[in-house]
Amino acid sequence: MRKKNKRIILNNVTITDYAAEGKSLVRIDGKVIFVSGAIPGDTVDIQIGKSKKDWAEGRAINIVEPSTDRVVPFCKHFGTCGGCKWQMLPYHKQLQFKQQEAEQNLRRIGKTEIPDLLSIIGSEKTTAYRNKLEFTFSNKRFLTNEEIGSEESIAQQNALGYHAPRIFDKVIDIQECHLLNPVNNEIRNTIRDFAKEKGFTFYDIKEHTGWLRNIIIRYTSTGELMVNICMNHDEETDRILLLDYLLKKVPVISTLLYTINPKWNDTIYDLTPQVYFGKGYVTEKLGNLEFIISPKSFFQTNTKQAENLYAVAKDFAGLTGNEVVYDLYCGTGSIGIFVSDKAKKIIGVEVVEDAIEDAKKNAALNNIHHAHFFSGDVIKICTDDFFKINGKPDVVITDPPRAGMHEKLVIKLLEMETPKIVYVSCNTATQARDIALLSEKYTVEKVQPVDMFPHTHHIECVALLILKSNN
Ligand SMILES: C[S@@+](CC[C@H](N)C(=O)[O-])C[C@H]1O[C@@H](n2cnc3c(N)ncnc32)[C@H](O)[C@@H]1O
C-alpha cells in the first residue's frame, strides 16, 4: 500500500465478487473493500475513501488487467455520467448480479424464510427502453480531466445534461443519451444551442439565479411526445421565442409545456405546468389498455417491462373475479386497471392529486366502472372507516416508492389480515425490511425479480405474501 497526498492507493488488486448497488468487492486481510468502477475479474488500482475497522470504500482509478467479462461501453459519456454504470458488463451478467442482489437483500434483511427466487425477467429492449428523461441546466459544467487545462473548453461553462455523480452543483453536458428514442438528443441539443446563441442564462443551484432549470421529456409507445421546460421565473418574450423555435425545429413534439419554478428545489409536484401547445398530456398503451399521463404523474418508465411486471402482479394476485383489490401507491391507476378484468372491485390510493385525476380518466377511457380512486397519503386514507366503506380487501397490491411502505401502513396491513399481499418494489432493501415486519403474520410464497432498467443496478421485485392462518 502506498500513500500519495495522504490518499491510500492499493495497487494490482483483483476484484473477486459483486456487492450491492453496482459496486464490487474484494477481501484483503479480513477487511472488505467495496469498489466502484470495477467488476469481478478486473485487476485494478484502488483509491481508498472511507475506511473503517472491517470495511472500506474505494474507487478503481486504473484498470491494470480487465476482466474477461468486460464489453466495450456503447455511450461516449460512459465513465463520466453516472446513469448507466454497467455498460461494461454484458446484459446476461447484469441480470445475474441483479438476481444475486435481490436474493441477498431479501434473505439478509428479510429475516424470514424466502423461497428460491424465480429467474429474473430481462428487458427485451436494452437501449431506448425509457419513456421519460429529465435534463438539468447548469452554469457549472462538469469538466473531465482532459478538459481541465484546456482553456477553450473551460471558457464555456453552461451545460444541459445529467448531474455529475456525487457533485451536486455540476452538470455533465450530454450530447447523446441512448436511454430514450434519439429524439431526446434532438430536443436537448436544440434547446441548449438556441439558449447559448441567445445568451439565455442557465441555473446556478448554489446562488438560485439563472433562468433555465430543467427539461422533462416523455415519449410514449403511441408516438406521443411531451416536453416540459422548467424556468426559475417568467421571461415572456424569451420564453415564447424558445418555445416557438423548439416547435419549429422538432415538429414531432405533440405537446409542449413550461413550468415556472421559483423554489430552491427542482420538484414540480407543487407547481402548475402551463400548456403552451397541444393537449397537455400524453397517452401510453399497456396491452389493449390506454393510459393518460399528465406532466406530474408517475408512470413506469419502461413501458414494455411494465406490462411484464403487471402480468406478474396479476398472476400472483390469483384473482377469480370475486375479489376486492386495493391498489396502494397506485400512481395513475395502472396496476389496478391492468388487473381489473379479474376483480370485483378496485380501490386505488395515491398521494399525487393529478395522478388520481388521471387514474379516474384512465378507468373511464377503458370502460372500467368498478375501479375507484382516492387521493391522499396512504397512512391517512387507509383507516378502519375507509376499509368499512369500500370493502375489506381480499388482495392488497402495494407498490411504494424506494423508501418502502410507512411503518404505520405495515401495522395497518397486519391488523387487516388481508389473505394476500402482492408487494411490488423498486428497492429490495426496503422491501425486505417491510417483509421482516409482515412476517409476523405472513409467509413469502413467491418472489419474481424483473429488470426495468438495463445498464443500471436497479431491480424491481414482486413478492407474494400469504396470511399464515390461510396456509
Ligand atoms: C413506485 S410508484 C408506483 C405507481 C404505480 N403503482 C405504477 O405502477 O405506476 C409509487 C407511487 O407512490 C406515490 N406515493 C408516494 N408516497 C405516497 C404516500 N405516502 N401515499 C400515497 N402515495 C404515495 C407516488 O406518488 C408514486 O405515484
- Per-residue pLDDT tens over the stretch 286-299: 999 999 999 998 89
Asked if the domains at 2-70 and 132-286 fall in one CATH topology, the answer is yes
Whether residue 177 lies in the annotated active site: no
Q: In Å, how far are 204, 404, 448 from 38, measured between CA atoms?
A: 33, 29, 27
In ligand 1, which atom is closest to the CA atom of 309?
8
> Ligand 1: which of 301, 305, 310, 351 to mutate, judged by most atoms within 8 Å of the beta carbon?
351
Q: Which run of H or of E encompasses 317?
A: helix 303-317
What is the rounded average pLDDT of the residues 258-280? 96
Of 9, 131, 121, 125, residue with least CA distance to 59: 9
Strand order in the sheet with 159-163: 171-173, 159-163, 132-138, 212-219, 225-231, 255-260, 274-277
CATH architecture of 93-125+302-470: 3-Layer(aba) Sandwich (3.40)
Give distance in angstroms: CA of 349 to centre of ligand 1: 8
Give distance in angstroms: CA of 296 to centre of ligand 1: 12
Give distance in angstroms: CA of 424 to centre of ligand 1: 11
Cell of 111: 429475516
259, β-bridge pairs: 230
* Whether residue 378 has its Cβ less than 6 Å from ligand 1: yes
In ligand 1, which atom is closest to the CA atom of 402?
1
CA 207/CA 203 separation, integer angstroms: 9
Active-site option among 75, 81, 230, 426:
426
When pLDDT is cut at 50, 70 and 90, the band that residue 6 belongs to is low
CA 295/CA 259 separation, integer angstroms: 10
Give distance in angstroms: CA of 427 to centre of ligand 1: 13
What is the rounded average pLDDT of the residues 443-460? 96
DSSP class of 130? -
* Whether residue 181 has its Cβ less than 6 Å from ligand 1: no
289, β-bridge pairs: 286
Give distance in angstroms: CA of 208 to centre of ligand 1: 29
> Could you report the per-residue pLDDT of 224-236, keeping only the tens digit for each?
999 999 999 999 9
Q: From 1.10.10.10, 2.40.50.140, 3.40.50.300, 1.10.760.10, which CATH number describes the 2-70 domain?
A: 2.40.50.140
Q: pTM (2 decimals)?
A: 0.90
Residue 21 confidence (pLDDT): 79
* Whether residue 147 has its Cβ less than 6 Å from ligand 1: no
461, β-bridge pairs: 425, 449
- Greater model confidence, 133 or 85: 133
pLDDT beyond 90 at 376 = yes
Task: Classify the phi-psi angles of 197: left when phi > 0, otherwise alpha if psi is within -120 to 50, otherwise beta.
Answer: alpha
Give distance in angstroms: CA of 333 to centre of ligand 1: 10
Handedness of CA 103, 106, 107, 112 (dihedral sign): negative
CA 445/CA 178 separation, integer angstroms: 37
CA 422/CA 464 separation, integer angstroms: 5
What is the rounded average pLDDT of the residues 439-445? 97
- Greater model confidence, 298 or 440: 440
pLDDT beyond 50 at 455 = yes
CB atoms within 10 A of CB 374: 16
Q: From 3.40.190.10, 1.10.730.10, 2.40.50.1070, 3.10.20.30, which CATH number describes the 132-286 domain?
A: 2.40.50.1070
> Could you report the per-residue pLDDT of 99-141, keeping only the tens digit for each?
999 999 999 888 889 999 999 999 999 999 999 999 999 999 9
In ligand 1, which atom is closest to the CA atom of 400?
10
* Whether residue 299 has its Cβ less than 6 Å from ligand 1: yes
Is residue 181 within 8 A of residue 94, CB to CB? The reply is no
Cell of 147: 478538459
Residue 3 confidence (pLDDT): 47
What is the rounded average pLDDT of the residues 431-441? 97
CB atoms within 10 A of CB 11: 12
Is residue 137 within 8 A of residue 214, CB to CB? The reply is yes
Over its C-alpha atoms, the chain yields an Rg (Å, rounded) of 24
Domains of the chain: which residue ranges? 2-70, 93-125+302-470, 132-286
Least confident of 78-87, 205-214, 419-428: 78-87
Query: Which residue's C-alpha comes closest to atom 11 of ligand 1?
Result: 329
Residue 208, class by beta-carbon neighbours within 10 Å (0-12 exposed, 13-18 middle, 19+ buried)? Answer: exposed
pLDDT beyond 90 at 16 = yes
Give distance in angstroms: CA of 352 to centre of ligand 1: 8
* Whether residue 375 has its Cβ less than 6 Å from ligand 1: no
* Whether residue 300 has its Cβ less than 6 Å from ligand 1: yes
What is the rounded average pLDDT of the residues 279-284? 96
What is the rounded average pLDDT of the residues 9-13? 94
Percent of the chain clearing pLDDT 70 (strictly above): 97
pLDDT beyond 70 at 5 = no
CA 264/CA 253 separation, integer angstroms: 29
pLDDT beyond 60 at 360 = yes
Cell of 91: 446484459
CA angle 171, 459, 134 (to 5 degrees): 30
Of 465, 379, 421, 466, residue with least CA distance to 106: 465
pLDDT beyond 70 at 435 = yes
Helix (H, G, I), strand (E, B) or coil at 374: strand
* Whether residue 409 has its Cβ less than 6 Å from ligand 1: no
Query: Which residue's C-alpha comes closest to atom 9 of ligand 1?
Result: 299
* Whether residue 135 has its Cβ less than 6 Å from ligand 1: no
Residues 6+ apart with CB under 8 A from 339: 310, 313, 314, 317, 319, 325, 327, 346, 397
CA 209/CA 149 separation, integer angstroms: 27
* Whether residue 401 has its Cβ less than 6 Å from ligand 1: yes
* Whether residue 335 has its Cβ less than 6 Å from ligand 1: yes
CB atoms within 10 A of CB 315: 15
pLDDT beyond 70 at 151 = no
What is the rounded average pLDDT of the residues 357-374? 96
Q: Helices (DSSP H) in 382-456: which residue ranges?
A: 384-390, 407-416, 428-438
Strands 371-375 and 345-350 turn out to be: parallel
Q: In Å, how far are 24, 36, 58, 60, 365 from 13, measured between CA atoms?
A: 12, 13, 12, 10, 58
